[in-house]
Amino acid sequence: MKKLLFVCTHNACRSVLAEVTANRLGAGRLGAASAGSQPAGRIHPLTLEYLQGKGVSTEGLKSQSWDDFADYEPDLVITVCDSAAGEACPLWMGDAAKAHWGLPDPSRAAEPASAFDAVVDVLERRVAALLKAPLEELTPAELTSLANQVGEQEVYRD
């Protein structure tokens, strides 16, 4: 099983959506967690409302620091916001494959419901694309390349 860590600055919305999506779609092949470089200390209320509205359990979800994951040893770290992508990662992430899947923040959208649907749709397509690969056989460099290629997929479908 490949361990993923999704990172966003505040770990309140996009990284949480990515964690939930990867755990749901990748059951048995992916184990995902999420963290922030400057965690908000709470999940954004619209994120919780969205997930609960889709029948997804929010039990156990929390906004936490990437420092809390020093012993997690992820195989792949994926940043999902542009500000987190530009930050220096902690040293313990040194050996993990890294990729960037920039996503807009749906909690700040004029129409949050459709924005959340669009972001989750992108995450579902990207996680599904990862799962098509023989993840267990990939080197860290190959995993980085694959994850970055997947992250270049269009953000919104026309």
- Residues 35-55: tens digit of each pLDDT: 998 899 999 999 999 999 999
- Domain 2-151, what fold? Rossmann fold (3.40.50)
Give rounded-to-5 percent helix, strand, coil for the chain.
Answer: 45, 15, 40
Distances (CA, A) of 110 to 81, 89, 106, 135: 18, 32, 9, 37
Cβ atoms of 7 and 79 closer than 8 Å: yes
What torsion do the CA atoms of 104, 106, 110, 115 make, to the nearest 10 degrees?
Answer: 90
What pTM was estimated for this model as a whole?
A: 0.90
* Residue type present at position 88: A
Q: Supply the DSSP symbol for 86.
A: T
- Residues 76-128: tens digit of each pLDDT: 999 998 665 455 555 446 678 889 998 999 998 999 889 999 999 999 999 99
CB atoms within 10 A of CB 109: 15
